Amino acid sequence: ETGVTQTPRHLVMGMTNKKSLKCEQHLGHNAMYWYKQSAKKPLELMFVYSLEERVENNSVPSRFSPECPNSSHLFLHLHTLQPEDSALYLCASSGRSFRETSTDTQYFGPGTRLTVL
Amino acid sequence: AQKVTQAQTEISVVEKEDVTLDCVYETRDTTYYLFWYKQPPSGELVFLIRRNSFDEQNEISGRYSWNFQKSTSSFNFTITASQVVDSAVYFCVGEETSGSRLTFGEGTQLTVNP
């Protein structure tokens, strides 16, 4: 596989369920990101990991819990979600380390379309 | 604060027409990066181009071309001889080199009809 992959592509869950979204990048990057894209709203950055360290958490509710076990994998653990959490969740990766000042292009996965009943 | 404005919410054209998507980026930084991404119905954001603020050369890639004018903070995207497969939401995105966050425009839904 190449690029950034995400599984599952579609997920339907009840408010009491616990599920996890998985992202894997095959680009040799060292930074990974979770975004939320709701209908009619701009993309929202949720979490940023650089060299497996969480460097940004944008006031995301605790029912979303990220995990980055290594530079190629990123998870988003979900529990007791609300219907308003239904959205497309996009993962991205880039080659930038946050210890550097230069920027780098983010490459996105296909997303997981989440529906919370 | 940065701001990306895509004034066109939706554009509909007939196949083979040329179409230009507008983007204006506002920032106090003198150094920044601009991107265009395409999001087809499948959902994946596909990277199209990255341009830094010091490079005002127009760029052409096949049927795609980009016109960056720093004086007006515009970074417009033109598709020549549009095709049905070009139908997607196109996002203009800005990034300050001093920060880590991308600023997305609200996107332009392009529909190319046969």
Specify the pLDDT at position A102: 52
Nearest CA in chain A to B109: A40
Question: Cα(A112)–Cα(B42) distance, rounded to whole angstroms?
Answer: 10
A98 pLDDT more than 70: no
- pLDDT tens per residue, range B3-35: 999 999 999 999 999 999 999 999 888 888 999
Question: Cα(A113)–Cα(A95) distance, rounded to whole angstroms?
Answer: 26
Question: Cα(B95)–Cα(B102) distance, rounded to whole angstroms?
Answer: 5
Nearest CA in chain A to B50: A105
- Give A-chain residues touching B95 at CB under 8 angstroms: 103
- Give A-chain residues touching B106 at CB under 8 angstroms: 42
Are the beta carbons of B89 and B109 closer than 8 angstroms? Answer: yes
- pLDDT tens per residue, range B53-91: 888 788 888 999 999 998 888 999 999 999 999 999 999
Specify the pLDDT at position A75: 97
- pLDDT tens per residue, range A36-76: 999 878 889 999 888 777 777 778 999 999 999 998 999 99
Mean pLDDT of B35-45: 93
The string of DSSP codes covering A86-97 is -EEEEEEEES--
| Separation in Å, CA of A102 to nearest CA in chain B | 6
